[in-house]
Every structure is written in structure tokens, then in C-alpha cells.
Amino acid sequence: MKKFVLLCAISLAVAGMARADVGLIAQAPVITSGHATVTKDKVNVRARADKNAEVVTQLSKGESVEVLDRKGDWLHIALPVTAKCYVAGKFIKDGAVTADAVNVRCGPGTNFKDVGKLAKGEAVEVVEAKGEWTQIKPTAHCRGWVAAEFVDIAVPTPIPAPIQTSEIVTPPASLPPVATSSLPPPAAPVEVHIQYVVKDGYLAAVNDVKAPAPYALMTPKSDGLDHIIAYLDAPQLKLTRYEGKHVRVLGNQRWQRDERYPVIAVERLDMVW
């Protein structure tokens, strides 16, 4: 009887250790945004995250897309140039939008789903103007949905830490040794973190002349106060027309150890409606 009790105790202990080992296995994080590659041919891009939603365009195997967000088994992507987008012709004049918050639709009619919006004054590339509707090339604000199983999101490549090297130089025998006690110690390397990010916020001009950039991404105001999310390094973009508006920023974020806020090198900036 004692041997039986002892064997049971040992079995329970081994089982507990096995369960403990299982608990130590961490699940890999789910990547929800970034550059991605289509893994199948003729993959439908739809207007909504629904297998019955309207098809906006199709993607070919090996095609690259930009994933912005994930919703269950669906990925929210920026529409490729092959997508057909339509705007009511009365809102387009000389290649520019004449009203604010103009719907971009996946077909020539109000019965088609919207896939984006346009701001007043925004430039568009007209493909064809026919009747009451004008076909345009997709803008940076046009979005679609694709099944996640057909897209492979690239894993961000970690940036290796800088390699520190040192070299000792022995002076020639004919020269007196150099006194090193008066030399200042070498400066410590600056630790910089860089990663690709997708961040939402409100764009605002920065008045501080010591700031690393003239614009910043801000939090929504609460009790009249807002806070800086990141400074925006975007010399190639005209950001004045986005001041005070809700935007989504994509780009490489760098953050030094001694800096209070990071700086995003803006690759793309979109309006959020």
C-alpha cells in the first residue's frame, strides 16, 4: 500500500512538472501591420471584412501590400493601384476635390460601398470621366480588406546593437610614452531604438525652436490638454493642411535614450475619418 501511495505521488509530481513546462512556452506575438506579400493567386480584396462584401480588385501571388490593421481573420490594407475607385464627378474640378469628406466608392453609384474619403483641395489622378461618376486612381486614403490566410506579413528585422571595437597602439620605442591620465574618458555610445510603426493622432505645429521637427503627432485633448506622441520628420510632405486633423502616420520611429519623445521619419500620412 505504501509503495502504491509513493508511486502515485511521483506520478502527480511528474505530471505537474510537465504542465509547468507547457506553461513556460510563450506564444509568438501576432503581427497586425507592416509590409506583406500575397501567397495565393487571384485573392479578392473586398470593401468590408466580410466574404460576401463587394470585390474591389484582385491580388496576384507575390504582390506586395501594406497592412494597416487586423480584424479577426481579415487584414485592412491600402488599396493597390489596380483597384477601381469612383467619385461623384461634381466634386472633381481640374484634378482637385472641391468639397470635404467626399466618398470614394468601389463602383459608379451610391449603391456601392465607400472605400475612403477625400479632403477638400486634395489632388486626384483621373482615369476616366463618364456621366455623373469619375474613375480615379486609388489615393493614400483608400482601403480594402483581404483574408489574412492569403497574406504573409513580414516580421520586422531587429536592428543589431552597435559593435564596439577598441585598438591599442604601442608608440615607437624612440618616442616617450604618451600620458593618458589627462585625457577625457571616451564618450558612451548613444542607445537608439528604431522600429517601423503605425500611429494615430492629431497633427499640430510645434512652436519650440529646440524641437527636432516643426510638427508633432498629439493625443486628443482632455480637459483642454493634449500631449505629444511623437515628432514628425517629413520634409517631403506639406503638413500644413493636416493641422488639427486626425491622421495615421506610417514610418520608422527612432528614440534615443536621453530624448523625451521619439521622432517618426514619415513614410506615409493618411487622414482618419
Q: Tell me the pLDDT tens digit for each residue of 26-74.
A: 455 566 778 889 999 999 999 999 999 999 999 999 998 889 888 999 9
Top-level CATH class of 34-152? mainly beta
Assess whether pLDDT exceeds 90 at residue 20: no
Residues 231 and 211: beta-carbon distance below 8 Å: yes
Q: Tell me the pLDDT tens digit for each residue of 123-172.
A: 999 999 888 999 999 988 899 999 999 999 887 666 565 655 555 556 55
3 band by pLDDT with thresholds 50, 70 and 90: low
Assess whether pLDDT exceeds 80 at residue 1: no
Strand partners, 15: none
Mean pLDDT calculated for residue range 181-187? 67
- CA–CA gap between residue 265 and residue 114 (Å, rounded): 30
The winner for highest mean pLDDT among 159-163, 199-203, 208-212, 268-272 is 199-203
Residue extent(s) of CATH 2.30.30.40 domains in the chain = 34-152
Residues with Cβ within 8 Å of 53's Cβ and at least 6 positions away in sequence, in order, are 46, 47, 113, 145
Q: Tell me the pLDDT tens digit for each residue of 69-125.
A: 889 999 999 998 889 999 999 999 998 999 999 999 999 999 999 999 999 998 999
pLDDT given at position 18: 42
196 band by pLDDT with thresholds 50, 70 and 90: confident
Q: Give the range among 16-30, 100-114, 191-205 with minimum mean pLDDT.
A: 16-30
Assess whether pLDDT exceeds 50 at residue 193: yes
Residue among 166, 12, 146, 172 nearest 78 (CA): 146
Residues 67 and 151: beta-carbon distance below 8 Å: yes
pTM score, two decimals?
A: 0.52
Assess whether pLDDT exceeds 60 at residue 24: no
**In CATH, 192-271 is 3.30.450:** no
Residue extent(s) of CATH 2.40.50 domains in the chain = 192-271
